[in-house]
């Protein structure tokens, strides 16, 4: 990919979200790029960043103003995975945003000669569980387990088809659970448990799970902006170290400076209790393995995660403590 201007113009979607805001912050502080943030509604992004209000992401969104003179699109916006989805037909709702909205943006981008389109997908496209020692790889056959993952996979397929038809380069990145400054949901809940000193029956879980620190994911995305080997590839993202749920809680405790109070209860008993309480899916995430092989990412891009798990957790904890 050749970008002739010295400061490529980047369009970032989802710039107020967890991942998007971290990308925006990194790019705003970098003099190598001119950043344009696409927003659902008017918002204060900060200095050194142009913003364009485009409204909701769907098939009817008009991107002409936002795409003017853009070289690369980084697309993080989408309908996120919901633990309790209240939609009557979740797949239809996911498709409206994650498939139709994404492909509409990509078609409009290719029509104005955008060079590269970076799409943040999900490891759930590969599946939800791995056998220990047999991690997911970028070239595995996809096995999306739910409407969210199906919509991400369908968007990937549409983008690669568009790339073949138009010559616009597409890069797909599939991260597992992302943690870091501003993390919410289940990861924040675990941090709160440890911070409060709550005893947890999670001291004997020997699974293996891959995570990715937010700073590591952002670094990979920025690598994919210009790297010629990234064109029309799918990459998995993860930290260098896989940990069990027990180890993760212990590491969170270390980062907080508070011991994790973990009781070694057998997983078979925990799984039975979770099933009785109707929490089988949540139990699978706590007790099951999900490992990610990033060797393709390393080999093609020469990329290594800049932060260790411990360093990533410290950043998440420092941010949480600063917000207290």
The string of pLDDT tens digits covering residues 73-101 is 999 999 886 655 666 788 999 999 999 99
Closest among 147, 119, 84, 90 to 11, alpha carbons compared: 119
Closest among 267, 223, 259, 248 to 310, alpha carbons compared: 248
Each residue of 128-143: b (16+ CB within 10 Å) or e?
bebeeeebbebeeebe
**Measured distance CA(319)–CA(324) in Å, rounded:** 9
Active site residue 272: no
Cβ-proximal residues to 175 (8 Å cutoff; 6+ apart), any chain = 120, 122, 123, 212, 217, 236, 237, 238
**Measured distance CA(166)–CA(129) in Å, rounded:** 35
**Measured distance CA(277)–CA(317) in Å, rounded:** 31
- Residues 266-279: tens digit of each pLDDT: 999 999 998 988 88
65's enclosing H/E stretch is: helix 64-67
* Dihedral over Cα of 17, 23, 28, 29: its sign: positive
Cβ-proximal residues to 212 (8 Å cutoff; 6+ apart), any chain = 175, 176, 177, 178, 179, 237, 238, 239, 305
Q: Is the pLDDT of residue 12 over 90?
A: yes
- Residues 121-161: tens digit of each pLDDT: 999 999 999 987 899 999 999 999 999 999 999 999 999 99
Label residue 323 by pLDDT band (50, 70, 90).
low
**Measured distance CA(153)–CA(91) in Å, rounded:** 12
Label residue 3 by pLDDT band (50, 70, 90).
very low
DSSP state letters, 112-149: TT--EEEEE--GGGT-S--BTTB-B-TTSPP---SHHH
- Residues 276-310: tens digit of each pLDDT: 888 888 888 889 999 999 999 999 999 999 999 99
Q: Which of 88, 148, 179, 272 is catalytic?
A: 148
Mean pLDDT of 13-38: 88
Q: Is the pLDDT of residue 250 over 70?
A: yes
pLDDT of amino acid 82: 64
N- to C-terminal Cα distance for the chain?
A: 45
The CATH H-level superfamily of 9-180+211-240+292-306 is NAD(P)-binding Rossmann-like Domain (3.40.50.720)
Give the count of alpha carbons within 13 A of 263, CB side only. Answer: 8
Q: Where are the domains of the chain?
A: 9-180+211-240+292-306
Q: In Å, what is the CA distance from 60 to each residue of 38, 78, 141, 170, 253? A: 15, 15, 32, 22, 47
């Amino acid at each position: 990919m050749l970008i002739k201007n010295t400061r490529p113009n980047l369009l970032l979607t989802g710039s107020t979200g967890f991942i998007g805001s971290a990308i925006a912050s990194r790019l705003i502080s970098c003099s190598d790029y001119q950043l344009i943030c696409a927003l659902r509604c008017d918002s204060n992004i900060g200095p050194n960043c142009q913003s364009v209000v485009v409204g909701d992401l769907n098939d009817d969104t008009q991107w002409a103003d936002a795409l003017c003179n853009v070289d690369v699109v980084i697309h993080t916006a989408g309908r996120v995975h919901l633990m309790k989805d209240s939609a009557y037909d979740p797949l239809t709702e996911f498709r409206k945003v994650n498939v139709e909205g994404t492909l509409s943006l990509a078609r409009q981008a290719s029509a104005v000669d955008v060079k590269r389109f970076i799409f943040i997908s999900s490891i759930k496209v590969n599946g939800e569980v791995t056998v220990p020692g047999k991690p997911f790889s970028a070239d595995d056959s996809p096995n999306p387990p739910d409407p969210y993952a199906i919509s991400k996979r369908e968007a990937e397929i549409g983008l690669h088809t568009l790339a073949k038809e138009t010559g616009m380069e597409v890069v797909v990145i599939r991260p597992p659970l992302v943690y870091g400054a501003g993390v919410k949901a289940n990861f924040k809940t675990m941090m709160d448990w440890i911070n409060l000193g709550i005893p947890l029956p999670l001291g004997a879980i020997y699974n293996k799970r891959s995570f990715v620190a937010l700073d590591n994911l952002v670094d990979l995305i920025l690598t994919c902006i210009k790297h010629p080997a990234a064109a029309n590839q799918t990459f998995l993202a993860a930290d260098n170290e896989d940990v069990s749920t027990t180890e993760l809680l212990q590491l969170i405790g270390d980062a907080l400076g508070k011991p994790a109070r973990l009781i070694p209860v057998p997983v078979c008993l925990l799984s039975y209790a979770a099933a009785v309480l109707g929490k089988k899916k949540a139990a699978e995430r706590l007790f099951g393995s999900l490992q990610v092989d990033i060797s393709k990412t390393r080999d093609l891009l020469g990329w290594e995660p800049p932060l260790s798990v411990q360093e990533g957790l410290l950043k998440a904890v420092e941010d949480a403590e600063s917000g207290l």
